[in-house]
Amino acid sequence: MNIIEVEHLTKDYGSGRGVFDVSFNVQKGEVFGFLGPNGAGKSTTIRHLMGFSKPDSGDTKIFGKDTFLKYNEILGKVGYIPGEIALPQGLTGWEFIRMIQDLTHIHNEEQLNKMLKLFELDDITLKGETKRMSLGVKRKLAVVTAFMSDPDVLILDEPTSGLDPVMQEVFINFIKEEKEKGKTILLSSHIFSEVDATCDRIAIIKDGKIVSQFVANDLKHATTKFYKIDFAKDKDYKDFLIKYSNNEALKILNKDDKDSWVFISTEDKDINKVISILSPYEIKEFTNKKESLEDYFMKFYKEDKEFGGV
């Protein structure tokens, strides 16, 4: 069952800025990773999902309801962490918490206290004014208010930005617990470890367009494998390049004439053929290089010189 739906969403701000024909869904009990550098279109998509902006075309729905038209009906069931924290001035941390509780009409004190303890927000800190809080404290306050009503759906835009490494780890473990409870979570991030550790499916966005969608485990257990082969002798290295630059069992992805090594890809079914090909040569090192989420992501961005935070 699809809880979150984005269907052909387009919002064109001009000069190539915006999102263009973006479509994906998040099923009940699923953690969906939305991966891309700053400026790729993640936050624009999420602002539309939260009902803050009206699409030029396409639809955004939660629980089957249009998020722009039915915002008030959805608000109490969705926890949201914005990418940029802008807390209202003139309020203490406690006053901000109570304001959000009143807006959602949910006062779950047990869950609130659990979150305050987990993210180490004490009474003294919460009595301080929000404008004087550090970025890390503001981020923790945003996390607490997003989760304090124990919502069924969580929309998280760069949720650990500004948190220290310890709190980042606490957050990741908490997301895993929420997943086990059957929560539906959209996690927008540019932090590979965060997405890799928590997500069931992942979409990569570039220049406002989805360039890839895949099941996370398919990448982890892909049949295509990568190996670095270091030749002990330069003549073996050159002979290998001459004979196997165009071979069905392997593909040469990179090479180094100075140090006599090649980087290849091959399918699991062809590994015995590759070993047979290499057997006549004197090999110094034969190393499996597992493709990570970051490796896969960079295939779409390798031509760019700047990645805006990646």
- Residue 18 predicted with pLDDT over 80: yes
C-alpha distances in Å from residue 87, one per residue of 94, 95, 109: 12, 11, 21
Residue 66 lies in a domain: yes
pLDDT confidence band for 176 (50 / 70 / 90): very high
The token duo for 185 is 């979570």
* Same domain (yes/no): 164, 266: no
Residue 252: inside a domain, yes or no? Answer: yes
Domain of residue 27, CATH code: 3.40.50.300
Tens digit of each residue's pLDDT (9 = 90 or more) over 183-224? 999 999 989 999 999 999 999 999 999 999 999 998 888 888
Q: State yes or no: pLDDT of 299 exceeds 90.
A: no
pLDDT band, very low/low/confident/very high, at 307 (cuts 50, 70, 90):
very low
Are 215 and 185 in contact, with CB atoms under 8 Å apart?
Answer: no
| Mean pLDDT for all residues in the chain | 93
Closest CA to 262 of 301, 236, 293, 300: 236
For residue 21, being part of any structural domain is answered with yes
Cα gap 102→108, rounded to integer Å: 11
List the domain range (segments joined by +) for residue 127.
Answer: 2-220
Q: What percent of the chain has pLDDT over 70?
A: 97
For position 278, which CATH number holds? Answer: 3.30.70.250
Looking at the fold, whether 188 and 257 belong to one and the same domain comes out as: no
Per-residue pLDDT at 119:
97
**Is 282 contained in some domain?**
yes
Residue 301 within a domain: no
CB neighbours of 37 closer than 8 A, spacing ≥ 6? 190, 301, 307, 308, 309, 310
Residues 50 and 174 occupy one common structural domain: yes
What DSSP string describes 68-106?
TTSHHHHGGGEEEE-SS--PPTT-BHHHHHHHHHHHHT-
Query: What's the DSSP call for residue 107?
Result: -
186: in domain: yes
Residue 310 pLDDT more than 60?
Answer: no
* Shared domain check, 170 and 112: yes
Q: Are 159 and 187 in contact (CB under 8 A)?
A: yes
Same domain, 81 and 194: yes
Determine the average pLDDT of the residues in 110-121: 97
Residue 44 has pLDDT above 60, yes or no: yes
Q: How many domains does the chain have?
A: 2
Q: CA dihedral in degrees (137, 139, 143, 148; nearest 10)?
A: 40
Mean pLDDT on 35-40: 91
Is position 309 within any domain? Answer: no
135 and 269 part of one domain: no
Asked if the structure places residue 299 within a domain, the reply is: no
How far apart are alpha carbons 119 and 75 in whole angstroms? Answer: 23
In terms of domains, do 171 and 57 share one?
yes
CA distance to 22, 147, 297, per residue, from 110 (Å): 38, 12, 40
Query: What is the Cα gyration radius of the chain?
Result: 24
Regarding whether 12 and 154 lie in a shared domain, the answer is: yes
Residue 304, pLDDT > 90, answer no
Tens of pLDDT, residue by residue over 119-175, are 999 999 999 999 999 999 999 999 999 999 999 999 999 999 989 999 999 999 999
Query: In terms of domains, do 172 and 278 share one?
Result: no
Same domain assignment for residues 144 and 268: no
